[in-house]
Amino acid sequence: MRPVGGREMLGKGGHAALTLMSLLLLWQEAAAIEVPPDLKQPPTIIKQSVKDYIVDPRDNTIIIECEAKGNPVPTFLWKRNGKLFNIGKDPRVTMRKRLGTLEIGFRNGGRPEDYEGEYQCFASNEYGLALSNKILLRVSKAPLWPKEVLDPVVVDEGSPLVLPCNPPPGLPPPLIFWMDSNMTPIPQDKRVSMGLNGDLYFSNVLVQDIQNDYSCNARFNFTYTIQQKNPFTLRVQTMEPYNDTSYNASDPYGGRKVAESPPTFLSPSGSESSKMVLRDEQLLLECIAAGLPTPTIKWFKRGGDLPAHKVKFENYNKTLKIPRVSEEDAGEFVCMANNHLGTIRHSIDVQVKAAPYWLDKPTNLVLAPEENGRLVCRANGNPKPNIQWLVNGEPLNKITETPTSANREVLGDTILFRGVQIGSSAVYQCNASNQHGYLLANAFVNVLDMPPRMLGPKNQLIKVIVNNRTFLNCPFFGSPLPELRWFKNGQGSGLDGGQYRAYINGTLEIKRAQKEDEGIYTCVANNMLGKAENQVQLEVKEPTRIIQAPTHQSVVRGSKASFHCKVVSDSSLPSKVTWTKDGEPLYLGWRLKKDEESLTISSVSEDDEGIYTCTVKSEIDQDSASARLTVLEDASLNPSVFSAFPPDRPDPPMDLDLSDPAARSVRLTWIPGNDHRSPVTEFLVQFEEDRWEPGRWQDLSSFPGDLNSVILQLAPYVNYQFRVIAINSVGRSLPSRPSPRYKTSGAPPDAIPRDLHGWGSEKDNMEITWESLDDLERNGPNLQYSVWWRRKDSGDDWTNVTTFHTKYIVHPTETYVPYEIKIQARNDFGSGPESNIVIGFSGEDKPTDTPTELRLSTVSSTRATIHWKPVDLSSVQGEFKEYRLYYWRESSLVPGLVVSKEKKTTGFYTTVPEPSGILKDLVPYSKYKMFMVVANSRFESLPSNSVEFTTVEDVPDAPRFFRINRRSLDTLYLEWGKPLEPNGILIGYKLIYYRVNGSRLGPQQIETFQPNVTEFILRLPDRSARYKFNLSALTQVGAGEVYAEESPHFTNEAHIDQVDIATQGWFIGLMCAIALIILILLIVCFIKRSRGGKYPIRDKKDLPLDPVDQKDQDGSFDYHSDEDNKPLQGSQTSLDGNVKESDDSLVDYGEGGDGQFNEDGSFIGQYTVKKDKDETEGNESSEATSPVNAIYSLA
């Protein structure tokens, strides 16, 4: 199972309520049903030969296939040309064992032609008989060309000519071609070409056409043989002598005068003709004209444009081809031939008929006893096909009435079954036929009584990529049709809606898978006979992506090239990186090396040029990126080509030109600009139109960098202009100048309005809504929408309305009835295609009935089994969604416990006569109230009777909290909170604890406490003891959920709750370290001051020293010399020029002549200013004995 489309879908369809004429019946809408092969069932044809079966006469064996399945295994018989084919009497014919396939052998003689005819296979068992198609067996024929003597063909120069082929009729028809005696094809062009009938047409003959071996050849594909007609000899008469050397393409007549002629038609003849073609076959129309100069052929369709997306022109515009024709292609096609002498036209009336084709093919129907059902066989064609019903190969209108036939009724293309019984199984055939062909379909009605069963593998593991659309399959079977619902992780009331969509065949769609969608999905199928379920595990993975893609490389020959390719993927998904060149695998060797994130090519040569693609694959996804390698000429060999300039963005393309205009296309040609040393890899064509979004340039198409002339596919009724952008490895060029404008002609819309829905906003209406066509899908002015609707299966005619809007409200309607809806866009040029029919519903109303007799059978602590009397589903007046139970907790039986009375809901989807359900997740020991309603998509019914009930007592929840503290070295303090939900009357608490010794546990010890006790002190035998605790609350029912804790591992006394930090060793050590650091800093400071030298002796006794010593850049102090006449830094100068003493002079710190340390440890006295020089010298002499110098000398 993977998240991809086109999945095999097994299962059965849903139910729909409808009115047919005056009867109200419940029909089973069934898709094609796959009945498990081990169950009894009528035969089904599973393989047969094609209707028109042509065989090769050279084969030794003819095989006519017919295979069928069924239980019991079917038996087979054949009819040939409407009569029983007795296989046993013909020794050449055998039937394969357990199969109906015929083998007709010719190894021992016999002719295949003797077995031509119409064959039909019959497969039967005790439950019915199935028919194959009528197989027309024909033997391929390759008749010889009749012997004939062909006279030379003589024609005047410039005249038209037809060389007839007239091939022999073969089966199938041969392929015709013209060749000469050297087996060289005859050149064909605008002047000379072969027609659809095989004849060779010359619009005018040249002397150069003279040849004696024009030979028509017929190739028969089945026999692989080529037959050749006797060759024609062509002779051309000229009015003037012919000189071989005078021929040239611009003057094919070599200067001779040749009479010109106006156009005439060689094929078809006349001015009108008709053509009939069957739907889905190939339409070929041909016009070949004679004339000189050679006429030009053009085609058009009266009353509208040629369908450009379907029409192809071949054979130099002489043949118009529509590969698969449809009814809208019918009409009058006109071909026009013209040269400068005149114009002629030929009109071809094309009629499109149709062999029968299916609108609603009958499919197998499985019913339970007493169920109703129907088979529908709808086909269309032109003329309208006749519908005939058969049962077990016999026409229904010729069957003698039986008890089982009374339960069926034929209404044209529908058979109704009512109250079927065991034993009424059969195979029904629908034959739709008209003069152009027939359709035959088998569909069995199998009456079974079978409980649900799952058909898919059990417990699948599905891996998908995040954000991807995902399908989970759950194929199932049962009769009556089971109801299937999906659940995730065993919870919820069924997955359907939002990002989930459940299909009737058992498939669950997840629109965008996310990580939160991971889990176990369970599908449960129920019917009245039982239930079955299966599970799918979904894993959502991150995508495998290339996050660093390789870039275009331009390298010099002989150098090295590297492409980088960095990938990321889900860690649980192995991925593999591979490299290819131009789509072919790369073979690694000494020159090509690959590692995890790159590919390296050594000694690059011209052969290495190309597109390199990095592909990373995981088991569920992949990513790829490509880059071009361009090999440049060696700069040393041609210095003028390469320079030191790096590659740059290309210049914009120039000279945009439009040519070859058509209804929905035009050719755009441009001249590329300079690529600036990096080859152009891509051209981007953009367009702008002036009607819907003028001025906005939009991307139209991208083209390879080696093209400069392209055909642009356009939309009708748009006034275009174009521009081109060149792209190389460096980036994009600027846009080119815009092209001239090109306006396409209008046409009917091609698109069908999307998202068609029908739904009721009120009980008596239906809103039909759809998405508007995009601007470029309008194809013409005055866009409108034609909407049709009719009551489903009522046989009423369609009602329709045309509107400019995207919504239409149908009013009045009955409540919740199904409608068939379709839509079509139209404009002034005509109508577009019709949409498929979708089913919509009118509005819903409030259900008229309500569930009754709501009651309980069993009630436990958390669950209650409920029962109720269901409503008639027709009273729901809408889509039945569920029986919705409202319930709430009225109170707790625990005295004083306050509870929330919030209402909750749960849904039960069931249609059984005596429904029941289980109400889960209740709170024990509580009083509840509940009531039930029935719900459709919009409304709920009135509530049922209310029911009160109480749940029984249960074990309590875990304590609200459990904490362990250590308040001293030898005790643990335990405290806990009461459970939030006691679920009964608390009778106490139980504490179980063990001493932990490494990985071993000591003996169990138990303590019990009264319900009002919420703390406990445990004495420890030693300080290192550790314990594991399990605490639970108790009710009469028993012990509740355990709250487990473990005491901390106390390695030292720092973990005790109350600690004197001043007595801790780490704190004392930290303080000592801080004190030591401070002492060292002081000592360093003293040393620095000492290194600065002596303070100078001032000449003036009243001149104070600086209050602040200034530092040099190197960090030393700068002391001023006694010669300085400047004021000391830090002092102030008075107004009269005198220096004012500093307020903070060193004099103030002096205490006499002796240098002493002050209280802060400084030594100031030594540097105090003295009264005379002797005193100063005395101080200097005492410097060596100072404490600072002593320290300095030690340093």
pLDDT at 147: 80
**Given this model, what pLDDT does residue 150 score?**
85
Lowest average pLDDT, out of 319-328, 428-437, 839-848, 995-1004, goes to 995-1004
Q: Mean pLDDT, to the nearest integer, of 611-631?
A: 91
A 10 A CB-CB count for 972 gives 22
Q: 594-599 — which CB contacts under 8 Å span 24+ positions?
A: 597/548, 597/564, 597/565, 597/566, 597/567, 598/562, 598/563, 598/564, 598/565, 599/550, 599/562, 599/563, 599/565
Q: In this predicted structure, what is the pLDDT of residue 18?
A: 29
User: Which of the four pLDDT bands, split at 50, 70 and 90, describes residue 918?
Assistant: very high
Q: Across 49-152, where does the E strand assignment appear?
A: 52-55, 61-64, 66-71, 75-80, 83-84, 93-95, 102-105, 117-125, 128-131, 135-139
Summarize the confidence of residues 31-35 as an average pLDDT. 64
Would you state the structure tokens that stand for residue 980, as one six-digit string? 């939030």
Contacts of 837 (CB under 8 A, 6+ apart): 820, 821, 822
Check whether the bond before 812 is cis (ω within 30° of 0). Answer: yes
The pLDDT of residue 1103? 42
User: 9 pLDDT exceeds 60?
Assistant: no
- Choose the weakest-confidence range: 125-134, 438-447, 1063-1072: 1063-1072
Summarised one tens digit per residue, pLDDT across range 190-244 is 999 999 999 999 999 999 899 999 999 999 877 778 888 889 999 998 877 665 5
Average the pLDDT over each of 242-246, 519-523, 1068-1072, 1182-1186 and give the range with the smallest value. Answer: 1182-1186
In this structure, of 155-164, 256-265, 429-438, the range with the lowest mean pLDDT score is 256-265
**What is the arithmetic mean of pLDDT over 362-368?**
92
| Least confident segment among 954-963, 1018-1027, 1093-1102 | 1093-1102
| pLDDT over 70 (residue 1170) | no
Q: How confident is the model at residue 1049 (pLDDT cuts 50, 70, 90)?
A: low
The pTM (predicted TM-score) of the whole model is 0.51
Of 14, 32, 33, the closest CA to residue 818 belongs to 14
Q: What is the mean pLDDT of residues 498-521?
A: 88
Across 877-885, average pLDDT: 92
Q: Lowest mean pLDDT of 793-797, 813-817, 984-988, 1037-1041, name the range.
A: 793-797
pLDDT for 302 beyond 90: no
Contact criterion met (CB below 8 Å) for 429 and 441: yes
3-state secondary structure 1126-1179: CCCCCCEECCCCCEECCCCCHHHHCCCCCCCECCCCCECHHHCCCCCHHHHHHH
Q: Is 63 helix (H, G, I), strand (E, B) or coil?
A: strand
Q: What is the pLDDT of residues 990-1010, one digit of tens each?
A: 999 988 887 677 888 999 999
Question: H or E element: which one contains 523?
Answer: strand 519-527
Nearest residue to 889 (alpha-carbon basis) of 937, 926, 848, 935: 926
Decide if pLDDT at 905 tops 90.
Answer: yes
- Residue 354 has a pLDDT of 93
- 556-605: pLDDT as tens digits: 888 889 899 999 999 898 999 999 999 898 888 888 888 888 899 988 98
Contact 367, 479 (CB under 8 A): yes
| Averaged pLDDT for residues 69-85 | 93
3-class DSSP assignment, residue 403 = coil
The pLDDT score that the predictor gives to residue 501 is 87
Is pLDDT larger for residue 1009 or for residue 2? 1009
Q: Which amino acid is at 360?
A: D
Predicted confidence band of residue 250 (pLDDT cuts 50, 70, 90): low
pLDDT of 807 over the 70 cut: yes
Q: Residue 289 carries which side chain, given as an amino acid letter? A: A
Instruction: Report the C-alpha gap between 243 and 207 in whole angstroms.
Output: 10
The model's pLDDT over 652-678, given as tens digits with 9 standing for 90+, comes to 999 899 988 888 899 999 988 888 888
User: Would you state the pLDDT for residue 254?
Assistant: 64
- At residue 244, the pLDDT reads 56
Q: Sorting pLDDT into bands at 50, 70 and 90, what band is 1135?
A: very low
Residues 1081-1109, mean pLDDT to the nearest whole number: 58
Give me the pLDDT at residue 445, please: 93
pLDDT of 732 reads: 93
Evaluate whether 1074 touches 1066 at the Cβ level (below 8 Å): no
Q: Which of 748, 749, 747, 663 is nearest to 712 (CA)?
A: 663
Tell whether the model's pLDDT for residue 2 goes beyond 60: no
Q: Is the pLDDT of residue 1134 over 50?
A: no
Please state the φ and ψ torsions of residue 1148, each to the nearest 5 degrees.
-65, -20
Where residue 646 falls among pLDDT bands split at 50, 70, 90?
Answer: confident
Cα–Cα distance measured from residue 344 to residue 269, given in angstroms and rounded to the nearest whole number: 12
| Rounded average pLDDT over 1069-1098 | 77
The fraction of the chain above a pLDDT of 70, given in percent, is 84
Non-local CB neighbours of 1041 within 8 Å, separated by 6+ positions: 955, 956, 957, 958, 1032
Query: What pLDDT is recorded for position 283?
Result: 94
Grade residue 790 by pLDDT with cuts at 50, 70 and 90.
very high
Grade residue 1088 by pLDDT with cuts at 50, 70 and 90. confident
Residue 285 has a pLDDT of: 96
Percentage above 90 pLDDT, the chain: 52
User: Which residues are CB-contacts of 64 (< 8 A; sequence separation ≥ 6)?
Assistant: 49, 53, 101, 102, 104, 119, 121, 135, 137
Question: Which residue has better confidence, 24 or 928?
Answer: 928
pLDDT band at 1092 (very low <50, low <70, confident <90, very high): low
d(C-alpha 87, C-alpha 83), whole Å: 12
Identify the band that residue 440 occupies on the pLDDT scale cut at 50, 70 and 90: very high
Mean pLDDT of 114-141: 93
Whether residue 1108 is predicted with pLDDT greater than 50 in this model: the reply is: no
What average pLDDT does the segment 513-524 reach? 90
The mean per-residue pLDDT over the stretch 501-518 comes to 88
Res. 252: pLDDT tops 50: yes
Range with the poorest average pLDDT among 137-146, 339-348, 845-854: 137-146
Is 1186's pLDDT higher than 50?
no
How much is the mean pLDDT over the chain?
83
- Beta-carbon contacts of 597 under 8 Å, excluding residues fewer than 6 positions away, are 548, 564, 565, 566, 567
pLDDT at 169 over 90: no
pLDDT interval class at 966 (50, 70, 90):
confident
pLDDT for position 492 = 64
| Confidence at residue 232, expressed as pLDDT on a 0 to 100 scale | 92
CA atoms in the 13 A half-sphere facing the CB of 860: 9
Q: Please tell me the distance from the alpha carbon of residue 210 to that of residue 514, in angstroms, as a whole number.
A: 76
Residue 914 has pLDDT above 70, yes or no: yes
